[in-house]
């Protein structure tokens, strides 16, 4: 190696390195400004796990419902079959709006459930609710088994107790208010006509607030079927299970609570155990002054059931036919009682949802 190679390999001094870096900086231009650090989204702005699960299942949430679930505000689900098939126009819309008003007055967000253009929807706008009400019986009655078909065909559908419970629970709603529960139909031991409500409640974790099983049903057999499926039936404020229009069915209640707080404690304990994933039925008696005497209600119901059989109204068509016949036979008194009891159920259901929310 000669002296020229040694000169090339000689380490540069500090001044030489500084000069070279200065030349390089002049070629590259000024340094870019520092990248700003963006704030992370706040927890309240992120969708809830339930909302994500609902979206993945193709369920649409009304913005108010989505915000309530995200922020922990109590939500109460409501069915739409009672609107389309349970009452005539315009009483159906008036009642639906009044019930939503009761829920709001109770400190909760109402979430009426329906299928709109093939999309299961939890929480309806006023226009959507009116569309279901005006459509009446032309709107398809959608039970749990019908949801996939209604979605695939892009149909509008009024959801039954079974379908509403499934969709509400999937969205993360823990309280569902309805008029009466489906169950074993009279003569069901021969016809095998048993509502899907029972099996759905056996695997759906939420509280269903109702006035007991519909009076057109075989209530003792309905209670037996619920017991077999592990679904608690809890009477509110009395020792017997109510029978929709009548405050007393004559059947002893398996359990009793006397306040929304007691009901919340029972529901929370049941859901926490996860016993088969099923729910709880809370049976609220028809408010005083609106109930029908048991004997009169039974006579009118038996006549309406006989009329349905004579007309060949079976399956999904049976209950709407019988309720219409009852309204006619009682000169509208049964419709008035139906409206009173659903509002009463909504008031109790809202108080229950608030009490559940306090328990976390």
Q: 29 falls in which pLDDT band (50, 70, 90)?
A: low
Q: Are 132 and 93 in contact (CB under 8 A)?
A: no
189 is catalytic: no
Could you say which DSSP state residue 134 is in? Answer: H
pTM above 0.75, yes or no: yes
Catalytic residue among 79, 100, 130, 291: 79
- List, for residues 36-47, the tens digit of each pLDDT value: 333 333 334 466
Check whether 152 has a pLDDT greater than 60.
yes
* pLDDT of the residue at 241: 95
Two tokens, residue 302: 């038996």
Helical H runs in 111-218? 126-135, 147-153, 161-171, 188-191, 196-201
Total length of the chain: 360
- What secondary structure, in 3-state letters, does 186-225 show? CCHHHHCCECHHHHHHCCCCCEEEECCECCCECHHHHHHH
Q: 1 falls in which pLDDT band (50, 70, 90)?
A: very low
Two tokens, residue 310: 């004579």
21 burial type by CB count under 10 A (0-12 exposed, 13-18 middle, 19+ buried): exposed
Topology alike, domains 51-94+109-168 and 174-360: yes
**Fold that domain 51-94+109-168 belongs to in CATH:** Indigoidine synthase fold (3.40.1790)
CATH architecture of structural domain 174-360: 3-Layer(aba) Sandwich (3.40)
Mean pLDDT, range 135-148, rounded to an integer: 97
Most confident of 167-176, 184-193, 334-343: 167-176
Strand 119-122 vs strand 109-116: parallel, antiparallel, or unpaired?
antiparallel
Percentages helix, strand, coil for the chain (3-state, rounded to 5) are 50, 15, 35
CA distance 286 to 300: 17
Catalytic residue among 100, 130, 141, 214: 214
Mean pLDDT, range 181-207, rounded to an integer: 90
Strand 233-236 vs strand 280-283: parallel, antiparallel, or unpaired?
parallel
Delimit the domains of the chain by residue range. 51-94+109-168, 174-360
Helices 260-273, 333-359: crossing angle, 10 deg rounding: 60
CA distance 330 to 325: 9
Q: 269 falls in which pLDDT band (50, 70, 90)?
A: very high
* pLDDT of the residue at 191: 79
More confident residue, 144 or 215: 144
Q: 329 falls in which pLDDT band (50, 70, 90)?
A: low
Q: Are 87 and 95 in contact (CB under 8 A)?
A: yes
Q: Are 160 and 79 in contact (CB under 8 A)?
A: yes
Tell me if residue 176 falls in helix, strand or coil: strand
Check whether 60 has a pLDDT greater than 60.
yes
| Residue 60: its H or E element | strand 60-61
* pLDDT of the residue at 37: 32
* pLDDT of the residue at 292: 63
Check whether 132 has a pLDDT greater than 60.
yes
Check whether 258 has a pLDDT greater than 90.
yes
Least confident of 115-119, 155-159, 272-276: 272-276
Q: Are 183 and 195 in contact (CB under 8 A)?
A: yes
């Amino acid at each position: 190696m000669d002296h020229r190679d040694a000169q090339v390999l000689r380490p540069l001094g500090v001044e030489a390195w500084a000069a070279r870096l200065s030349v390089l900086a002049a070629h590259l231009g000024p340094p870019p400004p520092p990248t700003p650090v963006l704030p992370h989204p706040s927890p309240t702005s992120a969708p809830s796990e339930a909302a994500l699960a609902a979206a993945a299942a193709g369920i649409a949430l009304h913005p108010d419902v989505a915000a309530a679930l995200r922020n922990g505000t109590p939500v109460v689900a409501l069915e739409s079959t009672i609107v389309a098939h349970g009452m005539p126009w315009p009483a159906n819309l008036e009642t639906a709006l009044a019930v939503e008003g009761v829920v709001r007055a109770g400190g909760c967000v109402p979430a009426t459930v329906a299928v709109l253009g093939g999309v299961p929807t939890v929480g309806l706008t006023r226009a959507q609710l009116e569309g279901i009400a005006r459509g009446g019986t032309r709107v398809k009655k959608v039970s749990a088994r019908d949801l996939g078909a209604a979605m695939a065909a892009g149909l509008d559908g009024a959801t039954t107790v079974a379908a509403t419970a499934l969709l509400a629970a999937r969205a993360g709603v823990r309280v569902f208010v309805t008029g009466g529960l489906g169950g074993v139909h009279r003569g069901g031991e021969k016809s095998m006509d048993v509502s899907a409500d029972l099996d759905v409640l056996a695997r759906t974790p939420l509280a269903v607030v109702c006035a007991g099983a519909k009076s057109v049903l075989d209530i003792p057999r309905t209670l037996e079927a619920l017991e077999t499926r592990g679904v608690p039936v809890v009477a509110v404020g009395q020792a017997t299970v109510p029978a929709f229009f009548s405050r007393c069915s004559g059947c002893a209640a398996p359990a009793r609570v006397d306040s929304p707080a007691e009901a919340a404690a029972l529901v929370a304990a049941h859901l926490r155990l996860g016993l088969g994933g099923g729910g709880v039925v809370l049976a609220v008696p028809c408010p005083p002054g609106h109930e029908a005497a048991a004997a009169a209600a039974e006579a009118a119901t038996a006549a309406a059931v006989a009329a349905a059989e004579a007309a060949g109204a079976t399956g999904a068509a049976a209950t709407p036919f019988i309720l219409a016949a009852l309204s006619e036979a009682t000169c509208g008194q049964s419709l008035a009682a139906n409206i009173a009891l659903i509002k009463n159920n909504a008031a109790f259901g809202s108080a229950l949802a608030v009490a559940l929310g306090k328990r976390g």
